[in-house]
Amino acid sequence: MIARIFASDGQYGPSLRHAAAVVAFVGPFLLLLMTFQYIPVLTMLRDSLYSYTLLNPDRRFFVGFENYITLFTDPDRRQSFAVTFGFATVVVAIIVPLAFLLAVYLNGRLPARALVRTIIFLPVVTSAVVIATMWTFLLDPGNGLVNAMLRAVGLARLEFLTSKSQALPSIVLLVVWQQLGFATVLFLSGLQAIPREVEDVARVDGASPAQIVWYVTLPLLARTTLFVVVIMTVFCLQVFAPALIMTGGGPEGTTNFIAYDIYQQAFSFQQPGLASAISVVFMLIVMLISVVQMRLLRTRWNY
């Protein structure tokens, strides 16, 4: 490298100018990345080995892997992991096929297509706090609009967020509604990038519309599908606002998502060491899931 930077006569050559350009362009982002990503991760790794409170962070005790042992033996923490990954699995399983079908529909010749796309995309650009507050009112067991509609058609009221069995499905519904537009737009852009000639050839060869979708469109959308699955999984694993605003992690921990649990442990329960340990384990699991998803959905076709 050094040899390439210096020209044979010992003067700075074009390689050095190139290196300087690289540093100038990449440096600031690398600095930001270090400051806001890698240094906090290293700090978190260190903190996960200590017991202390945020009220008096200077008074800390080294506890080794005690926070990790607590994490793996505490049923509440295990429930939090199960709730979060179960939630992500269900939401992704609903959103991906639904968004694909919606994208296929929107890809056709539809009047007012732009308007429909805007309507579908609107929840995505609305603040998560606004959405959570709005759905809290909608799902209120006594005065909510949804229950008013159920009563109007002669059905019994539902408890929604105050019920152990209905709180999580209610939040699944909210997140599907909120994120469907984003996944649809991603699929739509993927559909529009597929060369029309490929589908035309299949049509000339006698393929039915369903066969075209199954044998042509879907394989060529593999990259988009991978992106949608990874993005939606990541989003679901990050879910926080509904627990904070709508349920407080309850009833009985059924909506205690990991991100909310980390917040609770750190700030409400004053156990930032345990919160850091949860974050470390969570980070490793999410990385593993992403690698597995990328392997399983690895694309075999290019166009």
Binding site for other proteins (CB under 8 A): 36-37, 40-41, 43-44, 51, 53-57, 61, 70, 76, 140-143, 151, 157, 159, 161-164, 230, 234, 237-238, 240, 248-252, 258-259, 262-264, 266-272, 275-276, 278-280, 282-283, 286-287, 290
How far, in Å, CA of 280 to CA of 270, rounded? 18
State the nearest-atom distance from the C-beta of 26 to other proteins, in Å: 19
**Smaller CB separation from other proteins, 107 or 270:** 270
CB of 79 to other proteins, least distance (A): 11
CA–CA dist 238, 232 (Å, integer):
10
Q: Are 136 and 142 in contact (CB under 8 A)?
A: no
**Please, what is the minimum distance in Å from the beta carbon of residue 203 to other proteins?**
39
Tell me the C-alpha distance between 126 and 114, whole Å.
18
Compare residues 177 and 263 and give the one whose CB is closer to other proteins.
263
Pick between residue 80 and residue 217 the one whose CB is nearest to other proteins: 80
Q: Min. distance of Cβ 195 from other proteins in angstroms?
A: 31
Contact 280, 286 (CB under 8 A): no
Closer residue to other proteins, CB minimum distance, 22 or 287: 287
Kindly state the smallest distance separating residue 210's Cβ from other proteins, in Å.
34
Residues with Cβ within 8 Å of residue 112, at least 6 apart in sequence:
none
Which of residues 295 and 300 has its CB atom nearest to other proteins in the complex? Answer: 295
Between 212 and 274, name the residue whose CB sits nearer to other proteins. Answer: 274
Q: Which long-range contacts (CB under 8 A, 24 or more apart) does 89-92 make?
A: 90/172, 91/172, 91/175, 91/176, 91/179, 91/232, 91/236, 92/229, 92/232, 92/233, 92/236
Which helix H or strand E contains 61, and what residues bound it?
Answer: strand 61-62
CA distance 284 to 264: 20
Q: Which amino acid is at 152?
A: A
Q: Report in angstroms how near the CB of residue 218 gets to other proteins at its nearest.
A: 25
- Quote the least distance from Cβ 62 to other proteins, whole Å: 13
Nearer to other proteins by Cβ, of 107 and 240: the residue is 240
Q: What is the CA angle 245-249-254, rounded to 5?
A: 135
What are the helix and strand counts (H, E) for the chain? 16, 2
